[in-house]
Amino acid sequence: MKINSLQDLKKIQKSIQEAAALQAAQRAAQLEKERRLAAQKNLFILAVGAVKPLPDKRKALLKKEQPPPVAAQLQRDEKAVLVEAISDGFDASNLLDTDDALSYRRQGIGIDVTRRLRKGEWSIQRQIDLHGLRSEAARDALSGFIREAHKQGIRCVRVVHGKGLSSPGKTPVLKGKVRNWLVQKNEVLAFVQARPIDGGAGALVVLLRPS
């Protein structure tokens, strides 16, 4: 705007003053509005008390994650293994029946049981081959095999121990140890030397008690 006179300058000053007054009035009105809203809010809180938000029913309430279950049965089985450990120092020779081929039957088991085992009247359901295993490994493998077979309801198994032809001096060390170990297993009711078709002198047919 071009200023030509003092009168023009006064008009400009007046416009500026009016604009400032309008701006101040608008600001005062905004502050008053905010004050009233705050007063209404405080009045509502005083009337109804503290307010908590309602739970959102659309959200799934998840249960806290439970700790993993303790394998109690596994612990009991492992403890049973220690209790039922078999010894290399046990001599079962006086418990074996001396006949054409050494056999064993637990006290209270009739001789007809070993006769039926020799004739193959019991079907062999499972077997373990201990060939090539050292004494300690063979003992542990046999103990675990008998325990698992009994747990699964297996009644008749074959244990292959070999004839000892590859042993030093061709003495069947493992053969005698297997018999001593089997006698110490509570699951074993009887055993006999296998028929030639089932391994002969290199294996035993073992009858387990019902699970």
pLDDT given for residue 1 in this prediction: 57
What is the distance between the alpha carbons of residues 99 and 103, in angstroms, rounded to a whole number? 8
pLDDT tens digits for the chain (211 residues)? Answer: 555 666 776 777 777 888 778 887 888 888 888 888 877 776 666 666 555 666 666 666 566 666 666 566 666 665 555 445 666 655 555 556 545 567 899 999 999 999 999 999 999 999 999 988 999 999 999 999 999 999 999 999 999 999 866 655 556 689 889 999 999 999 999 999 999 999 999 999 999 999 8
> Which residue is associated with the tokens 């297993």?
185
The answer to whether the beta carbons of residues 181 and 189 sit under 8 Å apart is no
Q: Exposed/middle/buried for 195, CB within 10 Å: 0-12, 13-18, 19+?
A: middle
Q: Which residues partner with 205 through β-bridges?
A: 158, 192
Cα→Cα distances 155→75, 111, 125, 162, 208, Å: 25, 17, 7, 22, 5
One-letter identity of residue 160: V
Strand order in the sheet with 103-105: 103-105, 188-193, 203-208, 156-160, 126-129
Buried b / exposed e over 60-92, threshold 16 CB at 10 Å, is eeeeeeeeeeeeeeeeeeeeeeeeeebeeeeeb
